[in-house]
Amino acid sequence: MILNGSAQSIFAVAAFIAILLWQMSKIGRRPKDYPPGPPTLPLLGNLHQIPDQKRHLQFEKWAREYGPVFSLMLGTKAMIVLNSDQAIKDLVDKRGAIYSSRPDAYIAQDILSGGLRVLFMPNSPTGVWKMVRKFLHQILSVSAARTYVPYQDLENKAMLLGVLENPNNFIEHLRRYTASLTTQMTFGFRTTSIEDPRFKQAFDVSYNINLLTIYTNSAMLDLLPILRELPDFLLPIRREGKKIHQNERDLFRNYYLNTKQALKNGTAKPCVCKDLVQMQVKEGFTDDLAAYISGSILQAGSETTASILVGFVQAMVIWPEVARAAQEELDRVCEDRFPDLNDVPNLPYIRACAKETLRWMPGFFLGIPHAVTKDDTYLGYRIPQGATVILNVWGVHMDPERHPNPRRFEPMRYINDDQSSIDAANNPDVSKRDHFVFGAGRRRCQGMHIADRSIYLAISRLLWAFDFKRAVNPKTQQEIVPDMDDLADGMMSLPHPFQANIVPRNAHKAQCIRDEWAEISKLLDGEAQWKEVPKGLKWNDEQAQTDDTH
Ligand code: HEM
């Protein structure tokens, strides 16, 4: 039969619509060879089932239902979720060459970070992540981390004094402790007060970023890039994101450019920025990128460690018998003096408390998403190139077979474990790996050697010096037990502020904190900055060489 012209056109349009509908009906559907997962809806896939809040609980449920690996469909994109220590080891560690990129993240990376945040940089052959990674390795390696110990010791003592004098602000003092350590390492100056406006700004910015990155609206913009064409007034998340980025960029530039200038003038203390300025000259990148590299270290190093320590304090308030057992060990080993890093081998219960803190309140409950850069197969399932790969840290840590009675804070699980975080991460027997807080594979946290020490020093000395009592409700006279499930949501979760009654264990210990501070603060000048930086820092002996051509 021969069709006339108009019939042909109608036929062509109908065929086009049919093909389009057929193609669209496949969007959101899970291909048969992918890992299993919850049933999908056309177009959306599983997007509607991922909650904006407490999503780790839903992921934990799915992990129990589908086993070591499940998949979620987000439109045409796949998200592969790894729920066992073995699956994480097999893929992210052992096949690190193809599992170390990051997924597209329009809001998190393009808008909030101007494409510059190290944590979200993809690992592309021409990208800058490899260059930055090498640099991070130099400044955060095991041997470099050792040289920062005098900074950790001093900031820790300042924190103890802060908690002694102003216990209700313990969260702020923990934050200042870790923030000051990183501003000193990175920019060469201490953050001396919890009232410092840049310190407050840095935490506010991070808080907002943390929240915005996980909204379903952010995922919609990755799923349907055409939505990015909408004007800002119809996309409040982008409008808000741009403001936050501007704020953060100004903050990081301010930190970096001041230090760069001070290095040039010879007035800055030796610090990470010295190498960064030299690398900027050699590689010819912008001040904005340099500012974000240094800012990324500041962020990655401070909020993370502080949040973990807030979790620790909460655990001590909920489980006083753990605090008592730890204090018994500390009194036996250290008697009347401050614990320090030399005591690590003799304080197995304190080491175990540190590991249990990281397991029990792991901060990044679902890790930082990885992306796979080549097609792969695992346990007979296809893992498609470009899929987002989630480390279900919460699911592994709360697996009752790996950790019986997992919501209980129980350091005895780790009593015979004397591995550092890096030893545990490298242990070929993955059942001996303590936790997955620092991620895995080539993207794993390079700051873990520093974090281990900051956490150990804080836990041992806080427990040596203070009792963590419960606050009492003045009306009912009942003790207030913090709710361990009351968490601030975001890429990093931590307990919402809670009350604790932190008191020195006795007058001698209170005096000891004051005496230790009086002694160590002799190293500081009138502005509470280091008169001279400690020996051993790799930048100590060299002349600052800077160039401001960028
Ligand atoms: C308890 C404290 C800390 C926690 C929980 C933590 C956690 C993490 C996690 C989950 C990642 C991503 C891992 C992955 O993608 O698999 C990461 C990356 C990173 N961390 Fe940490 N971290 C902590 C402390 C630190 C410290 C003290 C520093 C530096 C001073 C630091 C610097 C970094 C950097 C630079 C990256 C980016 C690595 C990359 O994307 O290539 N972290 N951290």
User: DSSP class of residue 35?
Assistant: P
Q: How remote is the C-alpha of 249 from its chain's centroid?
A: 19
How is the chain split into domains, by residue range? Answer: 5-523
Place of tokens 């006279």: 477
Topology at the third CATH level for domain 5-523: Cytochrome p450 (1.10.630)
C-beta of residue 186 within 8 angstroms of C-beta of residue 178: no
Ligand 1 lined by 369 (C-beta under 6 Å): no
Q: Is the CB of 118 under 6 A from ligand 1?
A: yes
- Give the residues across from 530 on adjacent strands: 524
Ligand 1 centroid vs 7 CA: distance in angstroms?
Answer: 63
The DSSP bridge partners found for residue 376 are 383
Q: With the CA atoms of 343, 348, 354 and 356 taken in that order, what torsion angle do they form, in degrees rounded to the nearest 10?
A: 180
Mutation test residue for ligand 1: of 155, 392, 438, 457, the one with most atoms within 8 Å of CB? 438
Q: What is the pLDDT of residues 369-394, one digit of tens each?
A: 999 999 999 999 999 999 999 999 99
Instruction: Give the Å distance between the CA of 455 and the centre of ligand 1.
Output: 14
Q: Look-up: residue for tokens 């990281």?
A: 358
d(CA 40, CA 70) in angstroms, rounded, equals: 13
DSSP E strands: which ranges in 212-262? none
Mind spelling out the 3-state secondary structure of 166-218? CHHHHHHHHHHHHHHHHHHHHHCCCCCCCCCHHHHHHHHHHHHHHHHCCCHHH
Contacts of 169 (CB under 8 A, 6+ apart): 162, 194
Give the contacts of 281 (CB within 8 A, at least 6 positions apart).
546, 547, 549, 550
Ligand 1 centroid–CA 439 distance in Å is 8
What is the Å distance from ligand 1's center to 343 Cα? 26
Helix (H, G, I), strand (E, B) or coil at 263: helix
Of 125 and 361, which is predicted with more confidence?
361
pLDDT at 127: 79
pLDDT recorded at residue 402: 97
At 83-115, the pLDDT tens digits run 999 999 999 999 999 999 999 889 889 999 999
Instruction: Please compute the mean of the pLDDT values over residues 48-74 and round it to a whole number.
Output: 95
Do residues 124 and 513 touch, judged by C-beta distance below 8 A?
Answer: no
| 367 Cβ below 6 A of ligand 1 | yes
Nearest Cα to Cα of residue 304 among 476, 490, 102, 127: 490
User: 301: Cβ below 6 Å to ligand 1?
Assistant: yes
Binding positions for heme are 445
Q: Tell me the pLDDT tens digit for each residue of 162-172.
A: 999 999 999 99
Binding site, annotated residues: 445
Across the chain, what does the average pLDDT equal?
A: 91
Atom of ligand 1 nearest to the CA of 393: 10
Report whether residue 297 contacts ligand 1, using a CB cutoff of 6 Å. yes
Taking every pair of Cα atoms in the chain, the longest distance, rounded to a whole number of angstroms, is: 103
The one-letter code for the residue type at 545 is: Q
CB 267 within 8 A of CB 245: no
**Could you give the ipTM of this predicted complex?**
0.98
Instruction: Encode pLDDT of 134-166 as tens digits.
Output: 999 989 999 889 999 999 999 999 999 999 999
Total Cβ atoms within 10 A of residue 500? 21
3-state secondary structure of 256: helix
Q: Are 198 and 254 in contact (CB under 8 A)?
A: yes
**547 — alpha (psi -120 to 50), left (phi > 0) or beta?**
beta
pLDDT at 544 over 50: no
